[in-house]
Amino acid sequence: MRSLLNFLVRIHFLLLFILIEVFSISLLINNNNFHNARFVNFTRQFAGKFYLKTTKLKQYLSLVDENQRLVEENTRLLNIIESSYKSDEIFFRSVNDTIFNQRYRYTSARIINNSINKKHNFLTLNKGSEQGLKSEMAVVSDGSIVGVVKGVSENYATVISLLNLDMRISSKIKKNGYFGSLNWNGEDYQTATLYEIPLHAKIQVGDTIVTSGFSSIFPEGILIGYIVGFEEKGGSFYEIEVRLSTDFKSLDNVNVIGNLLQNEVVELETQALRND
């Protein structure tokens, strides 16, 4: 308390000056119509700009909340659509019914770190094992491929981006089913290369490339991109340039896809390889 009093004593001339200035300005405004009008106009403009900024901020925050709500609602719908389920068709003379059991589970997440200018690019998500994420889960955004979960902690996950030289995706041409392996070229973040498509396959610029479904990670039919060019390589196959549908520079929200039957598939395939 004593320190406060000493401080006020030291600045009492400044405080007195400010008080006199405020009093003088008040007298000037109240006794002069011109200055009064100018002051009122200034305060109105200031208040108007302040309220406009406040309103825009509220609208922005509202849009952020609404966007998150839409992301969560989209994830909920993805979890109940028919393509997220496996079909068990039972054919008996007395029974002709189709029962759908869930195969894929979707979890929404947000990207908190992302790189596109390296040879081995990664992303970081704000969800981890506590939210059900684990390695070897697919990551998509707006129905297009992003990458594969590599490692998880309790509340975070790292993702190998499609823009990674180590990433290879089993892909196919949507219109005819011819499949091959897609790999990023390490240069342009907007394009990748599809290999192993035979020369007798009918292809053209604009054809859609999707996941083949031959992987235990990605569901069949996830959009990858569109053919923008191709040439014959090695005498038997095409080398196809694919324009990626995912804009990796503007990624924000993603869905992580968990294959509930993944372990069963992997164990069976591992056993088959051992017996080969």
Judged against a pLDDT cut of 50, whether residue 87 lies above it is answered with no
Higher pLDDT, 167 or 43: 167
Counting Cβ atoms within 10 Å, is residue 144 exposed (0-12), middle (13-18) or buried (19+)?
middle
Residues 6+ apart with CB under 8 A from 166: 120, 160
> pLDDT tens digits, residue range 40-69?
455 545 545 564 566 566 666 666 665 666
Q: 179-187 long-range contacts, Cβ below 8 Å, gap at least 24?
A: 179/212, 179/214, 180/237, 180/240, 182/209, 182/224, 182/242, 186/119
- What pLDDT was estimated at residue 1? 61
91 confidence band (pLDDT: 50, 70, 90): very low
The model's confidence at residue 95, banded by pLDDT at 50, 70 and 90, is: very low
User: Taking the CA atoms of the chain, what radius of gyration do you get in angstroms?
Assistant: 31
CA nearest 172: which of 228, 265, 245, 242? Answer: 242
Domains of the chain, first to last: 2-65 (no CATH), 110-276 (2.40.10.350)
Is residue 126 within 8 Å of residue 252, measured between CB atoms?
A: no
Please give the helix or strand (H or E) that residue 18 lies within, else none: helix 12-30
Cα separation, 147 vs 140, in Å, equals 7
Report pTM: 0.66
Residue with tokens 């079909």: 87
**Mean pLDDT score, 226-254:** 92
* Low-confidence winner among 91-105, 170-184, 259-273 (lowest mean pLDDT): 91-105
- Does pLDDT of 104 surpass 70? yes
Q: What is the pLDDT of residue 56?
A: 63
Of 87, 203, 219, 66, residue with least CA distance to 143:
219
